[in-house]
Every structure is written in structure tokens, then in C-alpha cells.
């Protein structure tokens, strides 16, 4: 194929699929806003549009360069501002002589940047869900800034930036560990430092279910995420300028969808005997877990393996929710089970379906990224807690962050039930 | 154009438009969740994410082969698992020698499979809406499994699989009858067997309107469907590797939009004298009816014909709603009028706009698919009713399926109106 | 690149990005439906699906020809019906001899029409938000018909139709002024003629905040708009058949996103000292204002300029909201500040970032379009007011348009708060 046609295909792929990944930010917002109690359904909207905006700017300011520019094993260059290639700028300025140079890039580097940028926001979205209903707004935005400007880019430098894990052969196609794991570890550290919501765990050790503000809105969020995942995984082929790339992208989308579907049905099947009924939230989390699990190697697995990987992802997620509850870690939307635990499984599963990938290297990647992200996140949350307070006051939490922090209500005209009294226990 | 560029265009078309058709599953979910009473707004979410998952797996397991592999007039091959072509797999494994063979396929067969798969879910979505608020979850999932694994693939084999109706010249571009008719007939059979909701039809024969849980959510659902329809009809061009294909796709999108718009305005116009006021639900159903109507031949109709076809589709839908109510068939969301009746009109209309299409063959197609789908669906619903009970108990229906079957509420914190007492009449 | 491949790329770009712009209609619907009081949350849904349908048909009937066919400085041809080029129709009819002629068009003209059509609806959507909760349905639909059939096409003829402003060098890449300004001026005229909602401005001059029906739904609307904006600005490159076009499109998407993100953060920063708290609505309006501001020249600005333009757009919007309130113009969703004021800024900013663009011409364009659209809209609203009444009766307004005009409620099963008594003041 003509190199210019290849260039256009590659660029278009980044733009279209990247646009669709941006749409996942809406998915996280809806999932989280529907999952929290009504008194906190607005503040989570602000957190999400805020984090998407912060991520887009920090990745421009320093994140991209830390991740991709002159990576020396551990980290890229600390340099302000992402710049498009000089040749592209010259081409846009009408200098046709540089066309060959631009074609030599294979794609517009700006399109590539756009695609990388939307991934950063995904990692941050995971954190907002887990820490909903009690994390201080300032604290959350500060954490998001560091996560997107530094923590995620460092993990990215080790891997997609061709740093030390890449050199060892660590394999993670679209980011089961690099994106979802990073978000999950950061969320876990935050959930531990910030602590559980008032009344979530009763004195007798039992768990109190908190009412979601809107189940249909949660469901909408999951459908948005599923739709967006075609962009997340499909775009991660990183090229579309040949029959091989197009075929691989088709393979990726088929496997992504099969894994999501299998995650749903496996989660329903596993949750049913435990609860004695169908469990919508298990199905919804199962979809995400199945999608996360296949994300590490959707172009490697055969179709039946995609089903197995997705199904196991769903089961892992349902189980992990029980584990977190047992150790009294309060994750409002099940973000850590769906993104971190299912992501670990998916990252390891690549070694099962593909003999060229070393399972020990996969484990090393999971572990080293876990230690780094969890460690630095824990320290950061601790530091934030000292300086501005990671958590809202008891009074604000009881009143709800919408009224206390934003001065609004999510559904001000609707009459709400009084909250139960056992919140303090 | 270079054959490899053609291959990439064709494949990309299936992937992008197919992804957009998947998004229609969210549209059906919102439309239905907003239309049902609040006490059933969660269970319909589970039905929809469940049916999408079931459809995706059954079509992989046996549906695709029944529909497309070695179709002998009536049915394809009963063979487990869809497989990508061996050449594609070899190409992905790095065997460059097979490139010519793969290019000869014209597109990635996996992309084609992906596009076909999302269509199956659409048919099943139609059923869930019509039977909402009283069909048993197990019953619905069992029916969905057979519909997507067998009924729809057989109809598909007759037509797109190049079986007997195809050979007679039956024409249905994107599935006014094949997809929407199949879903509509299956829904109609179910609505008859399962029966109307308690209190829907009063003893004096009058119809009781049931309150929708959220009108904005219904509207969102219709917008999602409209957006998704660009993929549904546009992707059904099945190719994008030439100027003819691209031009035809543009033609299809223009006509699809004109028909939807005409359906909206015609429905408003027709409903107004009947009701003496503007009718939002007429407008919303009219949009869908207009879109369904044009689906059989969006690349054949001139633009003004697209407007007429869409407008008549809207009128047909408004009228059919009255007919169904008169014969006491309870279709919660108007799925049968919008999908089946408008689909029949659209399938016949192709013969009006295109002299090469025989109206008798179109009618034969509508009729034979109707007899087959309605007949087998009726038997299946009857069988399901005997074995597991197609309908929830009177007590569950009164309480609501959300609480009774899922143990949750869709909006647990909101205070709801008490239901009126005449539900039993 | 092969001319046929170019043709397909160009056509595909219009279809995909145009489809995404249609999706913005859903964004406006959600933004507005969530922003109004619950008693008016259904009628705004009807207005929006109605306006999208009207826009699609009027632009087919006469709008397109007025805007693009034989434009003689001030206006195109008054000729009924848009027609695809004869060559395209011939090609679709199988006449291969015309292929060269069709390729000479560079793209399917139908795809181009589709893309132009969805822009019309955007302008009309802006009006519905500003005038929500009191404009009469008939009046709104009549105004929409004239706006989309005549007012917008005339503005378009002056500019994109290569009329007098185009010839003077007026520059507006994707329509900060042509689309968003036109909608904003029309909305402003309407808001003045129709007047403020009952009780919006108290006798003592203070402003009464009216409760939004659903904050998460507003947020969803803004995310939809942001996502759709990639189509709005990206597709406005109007071509994708070369490396230059693809690179420019990438540049456009990067800048669009940076401007939106900067608009969010700047609005939060500016609103915080004023209110003493975080302001979600400032953030949401800031996103739109940032996006509107960059729309006039997203392919000209360097990335850092995109940030500045977006940030200033956000600040302009926050400030303009205060100004409108001070002069007692009631714009329910902040449409005029976000679309008109930020659009003026963006149109002027093009001259700052690009020396070839004359700031006086930009101002002349803003002014002349403003005078034309505001003037004719004001007259039209006055005329409508005389003939059918632009505003609902006091009784209907108090009762809510949903019940009074549609006979339905948006959330009929939910118990709502009684409204405060000071509505009449």
C-alpha cells in the first residue's frame, strides 16, 4: 500500500479509537454517579470531569515526555510541554518538502499523543470510584495531578516507553496492568489511607450495603465502558496501515467482546449460589472484569481462550469483592476487584496463551508496578492527609459532599428517604 | 485502488460501524429502563446486558455457522464454534506467504463476524422491551438463547446466508424484516403467551397507562438508537473499498436520517388530533419506526422517497399501537408496532421504490419469516411456560421484579408514589 | 495516493464525524433536560428531538441550496430539495463510465451534505436550552423552522458558502461564530422577547436559583458534547485524503481537547473565589466554553495557545453568566455565555494566533452576523408572539409544561418537593 495511505489509516485509527476512549470518561462518571448515595452524586461528577481535564493537561505539560522521550530504563526526560514533530508543524505550515519525513513517521505523532492522553484519564477514573463519598475534593485533585503527571508516566516509561520491563519482555497489549493495575493500586492505597465510609463496616463486623442513587445510570456507565473498550483495545494495535494490522484489530475486537460477554455470564453464575438470586451488580462488574482481563493480550488469545480469560476475570472480581469486604477495605464501586485483580489475572493469562511470554516476567511486572504504584500512592495519600486532609469531616460526610462541598444537590426536587441511623457504628 | 487498501477500508467499516451497533444495546436498555415502572427498572438492565452477552456467545458457539456456513437453502451447518479463516490466523502468526489469500477475502472475516454478531443482539433487545415487567428472568434468558442460537440464524440463512428467500430475490438491505421483524414476531408471540401485565387492561376494556420511570432516560435511549442506526445501515453496505461503496454508504446515511426525522414529525402530526396535544412518546416511537422502515432499502430510495417511507413508518407505528391495545396485547414499549409493523411496511416499500424488486416476493418473505418466527416462538414460550413458568407470580409482579428477583431497587433512596389500587382489575 | 482512496477517506471522514455530531443532539437534550426543573424535563426532550428532525428536513428542503448553491455574495439559490450530483446517482445506478467524474468531486457530495446537516441542528439546540421552561412548543418549532431553513443558511452562505464575508477573509474553521454565535444570538433575542421565567428575578433584584432536575444527567450531556466535538472540529477539516489532512485533523483534536480541559480548570478557578466553593456548573459550562472558543481556529493555534484560548473561554463564560443575570436576561442553561460570548472570543482569538487573519474582519464578521441574526430573530420572536404567543400562560408555566402541554410527567412515580412560594415575585 502507498505510504501516504498507510499514514492516513494509522492516524485515523488513533483519532477514532482515541475519541472513543475519551468517551469512557463518561462511562466512569455514570457508573460512579449512579453507584454512590444520592447525597454524593454531584461531587463525583465534578471529580470526573476534573480528573479528565487535569490528566489532559498534565500529560501535555510533563507526562508524555516522562513516558516516551529518551527513556533510560527507568524514566524519560523531564521536559516541559509535549511538542509535535518539527516536520509535522512544517508540513502544516505548507512546506511540502518535508512530506517524506512526515510519511516516515508512519502516523501523525499528535494522533499518537491524543491516544496516549486518553489512557491516562482512565487510570485516574479508577481511583475516583473507589474513594467516592469521603475523599476530600482538594485531596483528590492533588493526587490526580501527581498520578497523571508522574506515577502513570513512570509505569508507562518502564513498559510502553521501552524501559526496563519492556526490555525484559513484559507483555501488556493495552494495559491490564499498566493502566488498570496502576489505577487499581493507587485506588487501593487511597482506600486504605482514607479509610472506610462511616458505618460501612458495623461494629459486629458485618457489611452495610449502601444504596446506589440510580441503577440505570450505573448500567449506562457500564455500556459506555464496553463500547469505549473497542477503542481502548482496538486502537492499541497502534496501526491500521496494512492487512495484518486490520486483521489483528478485528481479532482484538472479537476477543474483547467475547471476554466481556463471558465475564457477565460467569459472574452471574458464580454470584447466584452465593446470594440465591440474580445479581445485577455482579453482572456489571463482571463485564468490566472480563474486559480488563482480556486487555493484556486480546490479539494473542484464540477466541475460546478469550472466553475463558473473560469468564475467569468475572469470577476473580466477584471473589475479590468478598475478600476486600472481609478485610474491611471500602471500595465503593468495586474498582479494585474489577481493574486490579482481574488485571493481574489477565496479565498472567497472556503467558498461558502465548508460550513466548514468560510468566515470571509477567509476575515481575505485576509485582514491581504494584510495589511502585502502591508504595508511592500510599506515601502520597499520607502526605496529602497531613497537609490538606485526605478525608472530609465527619459532618460533611454525614451531610453529603454535594451540599457540603458544592452547595448543590444532585436531585434537589426529589424527596429522599431519611438515612438509617446505624451509620456511625 | 490497491487491494490491501480496499481490505483495510472494508475491515475498518465493519469494525467501526459494528462497534456503533453494539452501542444500540445501551439504547434499548435506556429506552426500556426509562419506560417501565420504577419497580422494574433494574431487572430490565440485567435482561439487556444479559441478552447482549448471551447473543455474543451463542452466535460464536453455533449461530454464525447455522447462518452462513454451507447454507443449503434452509439452514447452514450445525458445527460448534466460529473460526476465523485459516489464512488470517496464519497471517497473524507471521506467515507472510498467505497475504495474497487473505487479501482475496476482501476483508477480515473476523470483522465481518463482529458486525453480524451485534445484529443478533438487536433482535433479542426488541423482545425484552415488549415483555418487560412480567416475564420471568430465567424464561427470558432461555428464550434469548434459542432466539440467538437458532431462530435468528435460520432466518438469516434463508436471506443473508443466501438460502431460499435470497434465491427468490427477497431484498432486505439491513434487516427491516430479518432483524426487526424477527425480533418483533418473537416479541408478539411472547406478549400473547405471557399475557398482559396485571391491571393493564381494565375489566371495562379501557387501557391503563403505566407510568414510565424516567422520560429523559427513554429519550436518551432513542437518541442512542438513532446514532447507532448509522452503523446499522451504513455498515450494511458491507464494503468501503471503492468510490461506489463510499458513495452508497453516504446515500444510506442521508436516507436513514431523513427517514428518522420524517418518522418523528409524521408521528407528532398524526398523534396530535387523536390526543389533542403533542405526544413525546409518539415522536420517540416515530423516530424508531421511521428508521426501521428505511432499513430494508436505504440505498435504493431517492431522498424524497426516504422521507415518505419514514413518515409512513411513523404513521403505521402510531396506528399499530392503537390496534394492539384494542386487541389487548400488552407491549410495554411499543416494540411490535415500531419494529414489526414499520418493518413490514419498509420491506414492502422497497418494491415500490425499486421496480427490480418483486412485491410478491417481499410479501412472501415477510409472511414466511413471520410464520416461522411467530410459530416457533409461540411454541417455545408455551414450552418455557410449562417447564419454568414464563411469567412471574402475581405477588412478584405486584412487588416489582427488582425487589423480588434481584433484591434491589433501581432508585432506593427516592420516595415513590404508592401505586393505584386498580391493578387487579 | 490513489484518487479513489482519497475519495473514500474524504467520504468516510464526513460520515463518521458527521454521525458523531448528530450525537451532540443527545448531549444538548441531556444537558437541558437535567438543567430544567422536573416539571419541564419532558417537554425539552420533545423540543430537542423535534428540532433535530426539523433541521434535517428543512436543510434538505431549502437550507442547503440557500447556503451553498450559486451563492451570490449574500445568499444562494432558492430552490427546493437538495440533490446529490447526477454523476453520483449514475454511479450508484451502475454506470461505471462516470467514475472519473465522481472521483473528480473529491468526496461523495451526499456525505458532505450529511455533515453540513448535523451542524444546523447544533445551532437550533442552543436556542432550546436558553428558552427552556416557558417558551411555547408551537412557537419554538416555528422559530426552529425559520432558523434552520433560512437564518442559519444565510449566515452560512456569507461564510462557508463563499459569500461576502468569506471574500473579505473572515475565518471561522468549524463555526465558533457561524454555528455557536448564530445559535447564541437567536437564543438571546428569544430570551429577551419571551422574558424571564416567573420568579427568576425577585422584586429586590436578586436572582433565584432554580433547581436542576438531575445533575448527573447534565454532566452526561456535557460529556456527550465533548465527545461529539471531536467530530465537530475534526470533521471540519473537510478532507482526510492526504498526510497533510490527517496531520491537521490530529492537530485539531489535540487542540480541541486541550481547550476543553483548560476551560474546565479555568472556570473552576475563577468561580471558586466568587462562590467560596467548587462549582460543578461552572466546570461544565467551562468545558463547553473552552470547546466553543477553540472551534474558530483549532488547526491554527499552537498547543499552548489552545490552552490559553480555552481557559479564557471558560473565564468569559463565567463572567458573562453574571452579566446576563445582572441585566435580568434569563438563560436557563447558560447557553448564551457558553456559545455566543465564548464564541466571540474564539473568533477574535484566531487573529491573535494567526497574523494572516485580520482582527477587524473577524470583528466585522462577528458584528454583521450578530446584527443579522439578532435582528431577524428578534423580529421573528415578536411576530410569533403576536400570532401564536411565544410564551406559555402563567398557569401553564406554574404547572409545568410537561403536564400542561404533553399531559405527562418526566418522573411520574417520584414524590417531588413542593415548589417555593416566591415564584411570582
Interchain contact, C29 vs B279, CB within 8 Å = no
Give the whole-angstrom CA distance, residue B308 versus residue B294.
Answer: 10
Burial of C354 (0-12, 13-18, 19+ CB in 10 A): middle
Three cell numbers written together for A108: 501523525
Question: Is there a contact between A126 and A339 (Cβ–Cβ < 8 Å)?
Answer: yes
Read off the C-alpha cell for A87: 516536520
Q: Is the dihedral of CA A315, A317, A322, A323 positive or negative?
A: positive
Q: Do C258 and A413 touch (CB under 8 A)?
A: no
State the pLDDT confidence band at B424, using cuts at 50, 70 and 90: low
Interface-testing mutation among A278, A282, A412, with chain B (most B C-beta atoms within 10 A): A278
Tell me, what DSSP letter sits at residue B242? S
User: What's chain A's average pLDDT?
Assistant: 96
Burial of C210-227, coded b for 16+ CB within 10 Å and e otherwise, reads: bbbbbbbbbbbbbbbbbb
Cell of residue C141, nine digits? 418549532
Nearest-by-Cβ selection for B417 from C2, C217, C413? C413
Task: Check whether C31 has a pLDDT greater than 60.
Answer: yes
CB A287 within 8 A of CB A318: no
pLDDT at A275: 74
d(CA A405, CA A397) in angstroms, rounded, equals: 10
Q: Do A261 and B57 touch (CB under 8 A)?
A: yes
Sorting pLDDT into bands at 50, 70 and 90, what band is A272?
A: confident
pLDDT at C423: 52
Nearby residues of C266 by Cβ (< 8 Å), 6 or more positions away: C286, C290, C310, C311, C312, C313, C314, C315
User: Tens digit of pLDDT for each residue in C320-372?
Assistant: 999 999 999 999 999 999 999 999 999 999 999 999 999 999 999 999 999 99
Structural element, H or E, at residue B95: none
Residue A130's pLDDT is 97
pLDDT tops 80 at residue A303: yes
The pLDDT assigned to C235 comes to 98
Q: Enumerate the residues of chain A whose CB falls inside 8 A of the CB of residue C417.
A: 412-415
Q: What distance in Å separates residue A57's CA from the closest CA in chain B?
A: 28
Distance separating alpha carbons of residues B160 and B170, to the nearest angstrom: 10
Predicted local distance difference test score (pLDDT) of residue C73? 86
Q: Which residue in C223, C247, C264 is closest to A50 by CB distance?
A: C264
Torsion of CA A237, A161, A18, A151, to 10 degrees: 140
> Looking at residue C255, what is its pLDDT?
98
Are C159 and C73 within 8 A, CB to CB? no
Is residue B31 a contact partner of residue A249, using CB atoms and an 8 Å limit? no
Q: Which three cell numbers stand for residue C3?
A: 484518487
Please state the three-class secondary structure of B41-93 as a single string: CCHHHHHHHHHHHHHHHHHHHHHHHHHHCCCCCCCCCCCCCCCCCHHHHHHHC
Burial of B356 (0-12, 13-18, 19+ CB in 10 A): exposed
CB contact under 8 A, B275 and C407: yes
Kindly tell me if the per-residue pLDDT of A421 is higher than 80: no
Interface test with C, best of A110, A135, A214 (most C CBs within 10 A): A110
Please state, in angstroms and rounded to a whole number, the distance separating the CA atoms of residues A293 and A286. Answer: 10
Out of B214, B219, B234, name the one closest to residue C411 (CB). Answer: B214
Measured between CA atoms, the residue of chain C closest to residue B257 is C56
pLDDT at residue A26 above 70?
yes
| pLDDT tens per residue across span A86-120 | 999 999 999 999 999 999 999 999 999 999 999 99
Give the residue among C298, C215, C219 at the shortest CA–CA distance from C262: C298
Nearest to B145 by CA among B232, B52, B68: B52
Q: How many Å is the maximal CA-CA distance in chain B? A: 75
List B262's β-bridge partners, or say none: none
> pLDDT tens digits, residue range C241-285?
999 999 999 999 999 999 999 999 999 999 988 778 899 999 999
Please, are residues B120 and B183 in contact by the beta-carbon 8 Å criterion? no
**What mean pLDDT value characterizes chain C?**
96
Interchain pair C261, A34: CB under 8 A: no
Report the residue of C4, C5, C8, C57 to disrupt the B interface, i.e. the one with the largest count of B CBs within 10 Å.
C8
Q: What is the pLDDT of residue B421?
A: 64
CA distance linking residue C336 with residue C316, whole number of Å: 11
The residue of chain C nearest to residue A417, with distances taken between CA atoms, is C415
C43: closest CA among C267, C413, C51, A231? C51
CB of C3 within 8 A of CB of B197?
no
Average pLDDT over residues A406-419: 94
8 Å CB contact of C242 and A8: yes
Which of A25, A409, A414 lies nearest to residue C416, judging by beta carbons? A414
pLDDT band at C425 (very low <50, low <70, confident <90, very high): very low
ipTM: 0.97
Is the sign of the CA dihedral B372, B377, B378, B379 positive or negative?
positive
Of C214, C253, C303, the CB nearest to A60: C303
Each residue's pLDDT tens digit, C343-355: 999 999 999 999 9
- What's the maximum distance between 2 C-alpha atoms anywhere in chain A? 75
Sign of CA dihedral A139, A142, A148, A152: negative
Q: How does residue C422 score in pLDDT terms, banded at 50, 70 and 90?
A: low
Q: Tell whether the model's pLDDT for residue A121 goes beyond 50.
A: yes
Angle C242-C244-C245 from CA coordinates, rounded to 5°: 70
H or E stretch at A225: helix A215-235
The secondary structure of B315-378 as a DSSP string is HHHHHHHHHHHHTT---TT-HIIIIIIHHHHHHHHHHHH-TTS-HHHHHHHHHHHHHHHHHHHH
Best of C253, C314, C409, C413 to mutate (most A CBs within 10 Å, chain A):
C253
Q: Answer yes or no: are the C-beta atoms of A226 and A287 closer than 8 Å.
A: yes
Q: Distance (Å, rounded) from C-alpha A235 to C-alpha A258?
A: 17
Q: Give the model's pLDDT for residue A409.
A: 96
d(CA A224, CA C413): 27
Whether residues B215 and C84 touch (CB distance < 8 A) is answered with: no
Rg (CA), chain B: 21
Q: Burial letters for C255-277: b for 16+ Cβ neighbours within 10 Å, e otherwise?
A: bbbbbbbbbbbbbbebbeeeeee
What pLDDT is recorded for position A422? 56
Chain A residues whose beta carbon lies within 8 Å of the beta carbon of residue C253: 15, 18-19, 110-111, 114
Domains contained in chain C, CATH given: 3-424 (1.10.3430.10)
Q: What is the pLDDT of residue A183?
A: 98
pLDDT in tens, B65-108: 999 999 998 999 999 999 899 999 999 999 999 999 999 999 99
The label of the residue with cell 453516504 reads B250
What is the spatial distance between Cα A286 and Cα B53, in angstroms, rounded to a whole number?
11
The rounded distance, in Å, linking the Cα atoms of C148 and B303 is 19
> What are residue C414's phi and psi, to 5 degrees?
-95, 145
pLDDT above 50 (res B425): no
Q: Residue A337 and residue C256: Cα distance in Å, rounded?
A: 34
* Number of residues that make up chain A: 425
Q: Which residue in the set B23, B49, B110 is minimally distant from A250, CB to CB?
A: B110
Q: C416 to chain A: nearest residue by CA?
A: A414
Predicted pLDDT at B245: 98
**Closest CB from B1, B212, B279 relative to C2:** B1
User: Closest Cα to residue C261, out of A83, A156, A155, A118?
Assistant: A118
The grid coordinates listed for A227 are 463500547
Of B46, B44, B50, give the one whose Cα is nearest residue B31.
B44
Q: Which residue has the higher pLDDT, A117 or A418?
A: A117
Question: B300 near B247, Cβ under 8 Å?
Answer: no
Residue in this structure with the C-alpha cell 450529511, named with its chain if needed: C114
Residues of chain A with Cβ-Cβ distance to C280 below 8 Å are 42-43, 45-46, 406, 408
Which residues of chain B make contact with C415, given a CB cutoff of 8 A?
414-417
Size of interface A-C (CB pairs under 8 A): 194
Is the pLDDT assigned to residue A50 strictly greater than 60? yes
Most C CBs within 10 Å: which of A53, A144, A220, as the mutation test of the C interface? A53
pLDDT in tens, B180-210: 999 999 999 999 999 999 999 998 989 999 9
Between the CA atoms of B370, B372, B378 and B384, what dihedral angle is there, to the nearest 10 degrees?
-140
Chains with 3+ CB–CB pairs under 8 A to C are A, B
* b/e sequence B70-92, b meaning 16+ C-beta within 10 Å: ebeeebbeeeeebbbbebbbbbb
pLDDT at residue A425 in the model = 45
Chain-chain contact of C230 with A7 (C-beta, under 8 angstroms):
no
Q: Where are the beta strands (DSSP E) in A98-248?
A: none
Q: Which residue on chain B is closest to A299 by alpha carbon?
A: B92
Answer yes or no: is pLDDT of B237 > 70.
yes
Structural contact between residues C178 and C120, judged by C-beta atoms closer than 8 angstroms: no
Residue B30's contacts (CB-CB under 8 Å, 6 or more residues apart) are A216, A220, B217, B218, B220, B221, B224
Q: How many CB atoms lie within 10 A of CB A375?
A: 12
CA nearest A20 in C: which residue? C227
**Which among B46, B402, B409 has CB closest to A283?**
B46
CA distances from A139 to A388, A390, B364, C99 (A): 7, 5, 67, 62
Q: Tell which phi-psi region holds residue B206, choosing left (phi > 0), alpha (psi between -120 and 50) or beta.
A: beta
Within 13 Å and on the Cβ side, how many CA atoms surround B377? 31
Residue A26 corresponds to which cell in the numbers above?
463518561
B302-329 exposure pattern, b = at least 16 Cβ within 10 A, e = fewer: ebebbbbbbbbbbbbbbebbeebbeeeb
Amino acid at each position: 500500500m502507498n505510504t501516504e495511505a498507510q499514514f492516513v489509516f494509522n492516524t485515523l485509527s488513533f483519532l477514532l479509537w482515541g475519541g472513543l476512549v475519551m468517551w469512557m470518561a463518561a462511562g466512569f462518571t455514570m457508573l460512579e454517579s449512579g453507584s454512590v448515595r444520592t447525597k454524593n452524586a454531584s461531587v463525583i461528577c465534578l471529580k470526573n470531569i476534573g480528573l479528565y481535564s487535569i490528566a489532559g493537561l498534565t500529560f501535555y505539560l510533563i507526562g508524555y515526555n516522562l513516558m516516551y522521550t529518551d527513556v533510560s530504563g527507568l524514566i524519560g526526560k523531564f521536559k516541559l510541554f509535549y511538542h509535535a514533530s518539527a516536520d509535522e508543524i512544517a508540513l502544516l505550515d505548507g512546506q511540502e518538502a518535508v512530506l517524506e519525513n512526515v510519511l516516515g513517521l508512519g502516523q501523525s505523532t499528535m494522533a499518537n499523543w491524543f491516544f496516549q492522553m486518553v489512557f491516562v484519564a482512565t487510570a485516574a477514573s479508577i481511583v475516583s470510584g473507589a474513594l467516592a463519598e469521603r475523599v476530600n475534593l482538594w485531596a483528590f485533585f492533588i493526587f490526580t495531578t501527581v498520578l497523571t503527571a508522574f506515577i502513570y508516566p513512570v509505569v508507562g516509561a518502564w513498559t510502553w516507553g521501552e524501559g526496563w520491563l519492556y526490555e525484559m519482555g513484559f507483555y501488556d497489549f493495552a494495559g491490564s496492568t499498566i493502566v488498570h493495575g496502576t489505577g487499581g493500586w493507587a485506588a487501593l492505597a487511597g482506600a486504605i489511607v482514607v479509610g472506610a465510609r462511616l458505618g460501612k463496616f458495623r461494629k459486629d463486623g458485618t457489611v452495610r450495603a449502601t444504596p446506589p442513587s440510580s441503577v440505570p445510570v450505573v448500567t449506562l456507565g457500564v455500556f459506555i465502558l464496553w463500547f469505549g473498550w473497542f477503542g481502548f483495545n482496538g486502537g492499541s494495535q497502534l496501526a491500521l496501515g496494512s492487512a495484518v494490522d486490520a486483521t489483528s484489530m478485528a481479532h482484538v475486537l472479537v476477543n474483547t467482546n467475547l471476554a466481556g460477554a463471558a465475564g457477565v455470564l460467569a459472574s452471574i453464575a458464580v454470584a447466584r449460589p452465593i446470594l440465591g438470586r440474580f445479581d445485577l451488580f455482579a453482572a456489571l462488574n463482571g463485564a468490566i472484569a472480563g474486559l480488563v482481563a482480556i486487555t493484556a493480550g486480546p490479539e494473542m488469545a484464540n477466541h475460546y481462550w478469550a472466553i475463558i480469560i473473560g469468564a475467569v476475570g468475572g469470577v476473580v472480581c466477584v471473589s475479590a469483592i468478598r475478600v476486600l469486604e472481609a478485610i474491611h477495605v471500602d471500595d465503593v464501586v468495586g474498582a479494585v476487584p474489577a481493574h486490579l485483580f482481574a488485571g493481574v489475572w489477565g496479565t498472567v493469562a497472556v503467558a498461558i496463551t502465548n508460550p513466548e511470554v514468560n510468566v515470571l516476567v509477567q509476575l515481575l511486572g505485576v509485582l514491581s508496578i504494584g510495589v511502585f504504584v502502591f508504595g508511592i500512592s500510599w506515601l502520597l495519600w499520607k502526605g496529602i492527609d497531613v497537609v490538606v486532609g485526605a478525608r472530609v469531616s465527619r459532618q460533611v460526610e454525614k451531610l453529603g459532599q454535594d451540599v457540603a462541598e458544592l452547595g448543590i444537590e444532585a436531585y434537589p426536587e426529589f424527596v429522599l428517604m431519611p438515612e438509617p441511623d446505624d451509620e456511625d457504628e
